[in-house]
Structure 1
Amino acid sequence: MSFLTIDNATKSYGSVEVLHRVDIDVQEGEFLVLVGPSGCGKSTLLNMIAGLEDITSGTISIKGKSMNGVHPSNRDIAMVFQSYALYPNMSVAKNITFGLEMHKVPKAERETALRDVAKLLQIEPLLDRKPGQLSGGQRQRVAMGRALVRNPDVFLFDEPLSNLDAKLRVDMRTEIKKLHQKLGTTIVYVTHDQIEAMTLSTRIAVMNGGFIQQLGTPKEIYDTPANLFVATFMGSPSMNLIPVKILEENGGLVAETTNGLGETIKLPFAAPPTGLKDYVGRTITLGLRAEALTDPDGADSKAVNLVTVKNRVIVMEPAGSDTFVMTEFGGQDCNARMRADVQVAPGEDVDFTINMDKVVAFDPETEDRIV
């Protein structure tokens, strides 16, 4: 049985349904990230788990017990907010232990828990300070300490890193990952940042318009997106989308399109999805990640089906460990991820290698992946 179960949950405001029939099972020790654009319903769902929002229909259960109608204080959850929500007139130590004090936990237990959490989060020198004397990263650690000290069933994080600068956000992301690996806690984490989602999670629920678009591991979400929304939302740069015509040649299937030189090119499939044969003679959308479009020397040596084509460089963007090169397929700008020391220049015609093992096919009308 799952540790946290969201069963056919909906949320309506009046006659407007904003969250539609959500089904998610979270196992004990799992790190689930809810990711999606602003207004997709992810924070609403988190608040429903916390009890801060009523559930309109369906059930939310923790450890087999329904939480419908249960007050937030009786749910054994701890929440870390975007705004930290620290008491400015209390010391760090008092902020961390205040919840325990309200629950009548004996002083000796509170002090032991405080010492353990302060050591874990490396905030021991800060315990006598007030929140106003702390940096953003230190405040976030205190907010996490206040949650950790309670040892709840489920931790809920609501965009906890969005107020931090870019470097600190990366550092805190690593700290949260290390913390989860060390403690094995069950976490539900909300973010609009797909990099956070990919790096932190054991599973991701991609949301849009109040629906779960796809639920899966980071690898499943990245390699086999369920639809065009997931394909373009997850990954940086986002997946290249190329209109191609499916043809049958020599008993196999090929994708026909054009390169940036106006030439017709054909890309053979080694192991096409079963449903692709129904699209022979029709135009579909071919999805291709930037790293699957590269220079010949940078191509995956283990790939079974590599196709090299001549194409024109439009823009070149050195990025330290990689060089991003923009070219064109099917009238669409496409990003290629090449080696850092690749020698190419805008306007130059060079060889691009496509890893056809990694392409994903989408129906342009339904926008769903063809399987």
Structure 2
Amino acid sequence: MASLKIENLHKSFGKVKVLNGIDLEIEDGGFLVLVGPSGCGKSTLLNTIAGLEEITGGDIKIGGKSVAGLHPSKRNIAMVFQSYALYPNMTVAQNISFGMEMRGIAKAERDRAIKDVAEMLQIDQFLDRKPSQLSGGQRQRVAMGRALVREPLVFLFDEPLSNLDAKLRVDMRTEIKRLHQRVGTTIVYVTHDQIEALTLATKIAVLKDGYLQQFGTPGDIYNHPVNTFVADFMGSPSMNLLKARMVKDGAGLSVELVGSEGQPFLLPLGDDPGATAYEGKDVIFGIRPEALTDPDGADRNSIRIVERECLIEVVEPAGSDTFAVTHLGGTETIARLRADSDIGAGQRTKLAFDMSKAVCFDPETTRRIGG
């Protein structure tokens, strides 16, 4: 195992800057997920860690030692690709052991390593099969097994689940988390799927256009997004971002929203010194769907539940939840209700706003206001 530190990393292709001053650090045995939309630079960043791309500036340290300029074979990393990259003419056992054979490892040791990882990944019954005889999930397990026998300092995963169907993706996500818990090796994992990021990571790095937007724990990223991009990108459904105005309300501040039928209403913000500079100004009010629910489904431990009447336009049953659509701040707004909520389209009903989980953003800078 080893820590990974990325310091002021820059990467350009000619005059095109792809990565701009990235600073990240993950501890021994950590699980770092790089997440962001297509073209944000996450795969390029992974490739610089692997040594497949040379960096333009900055440094990369594995286990406290700089690997900038070091050949990939000298970095003691193992990579699992989206495409599996298995040899079609070799059996599962041969695919797993090929790298060890090239390094001159004795057959008895190779056989022992194959047996161990095959049992761990539950592919021991497939060792004599060719990749063409396996399902997508089984092939991904083989690719993981080939990486595991290397016993590297760092595992690199490049969107390993994107070729799988939805159910298998969930199953494999669990397998990867279980694998990390068992082997404890540092992992860097690239995905565009923010649910994968929140589920797997000990730390998440959110990238956009080659810039690091936010770096922190899944809880930090989800509950305290630094800007509207992170707020909108992380979470499914994403955070409701509504036009509002900060107004003085007695001894404190409230946000004033245009309600679902054009009527204004106030939502008290509580005591947030960082918000006082925005009194009388427009803001973006952010609240996640699960913090906007039916009164009986609201968090009973929260002391800042505010109820307001809204017109429900659409109701979408989704098994374990029911989603209701209303209009607030001139924007379509999603509330997450209990599965057995007795609310129908066209109905006026009270919704509970958990203001302890609400955030506000500056509409010009898009940065979060206050703490």
**Smaller-chain TM-score range?**
over 0.9
Equivalent residue number for residue 198 of structure 1? 198
Aligned partners of 1:255 and 1:269 also within 8 Å: yes
Distance of 2:133 and 2:250 partners within structure 1 = 72
Letter aligned with residue 96 of structure 2 = I
Equivalent residue number for residue 125 of structure 2? 125
Distance of 1:335 and 1:271 partners within structure 2 = 26
Equivalent residue number for residue 61 of structure 1? 61
Equivalent residue number for residue 167 of structure 2? 167
- SS of 2:270's partner is coil
Matches within 5 A, 1:88-167: 88-167=88-167
Aligned partners of 2:26 and 2:203 also within 8 Å: no
Equivalent residue number for residue 277 of structure 1? 276
Equivalent residue number for residue 354 of structure 2? 355
Letter aligned with residue 133 of structure 1 = Q
Once the 2 structures are TM-superposed, how far is the Cα of residue 17 of structure 1 from its aligned partner? 1.0
- SS of 1:83's partner is coil
Q: Which runs of 5+ in 1 are unaligned?
A: none
1:209-235 deviation line (CA, Å, top 9, x unaligned): 001100011111110101000000000
TM-score, with length taken from structure 2: 0.98
Matches within 5 A, 1:17-28: 17-28=17-28
Equivalent residue number for residue 259 of structure 1? 259
Q: Does 1:180 align with 2:185?
A: no
Q: Percent of pairs identical after alignment?
A: 60
Letter aligned with residue 20 of structure 2 = H
Aligned partners of 1:31 and 1:200 also within 8 Å: yes
In the alignment of these two chains, the number of paired residues is 369
Letter aligned with residue 108 of structure 1 = A
Q: Does 1:33 align with 2:33?
A: yes
Distance of 1:26 and 1:160 partners within structure 2 = 20
Letter aligned with residue 334 of structure 1 = T
Aligned partners of 1:271 and 1:357 also within 8 Å: no
- SS of 2:19's partner is strand
Distance of 2:218 and 2:5 partners within structure 1 = 20
Matches within 5 A, 1:174-253: 174-253=174-253
Matches within 5 A, 1:44-55: 44-55=44-55
Distance of 2:235 and 2:226 partners within structure 1 = 14
Letter aligned with residue 165 of structure 2 = D
Q: Which moved more, 1:171-180 or 1:241-250?
A: 241-250
Q: Which runs of 5+ in 2 are unaligned?
A: none
Aligned partners of 1:6 and 1:24 also within 8 Å: yes
Letter aligned with residue 112 of structure 2 = T
Moved over 6 A (4+): none
Distance of 2:62 and 2:29 partners within structure 1 = 13
TM-score, with length taken from structure 1: 0.98
Aligned partners of 1:137 and 1:164 also within 8 Å: yes
- SS of 2:53's partner is coil
Distance of 1:257 and 1:205 partners within structure 2 = 32
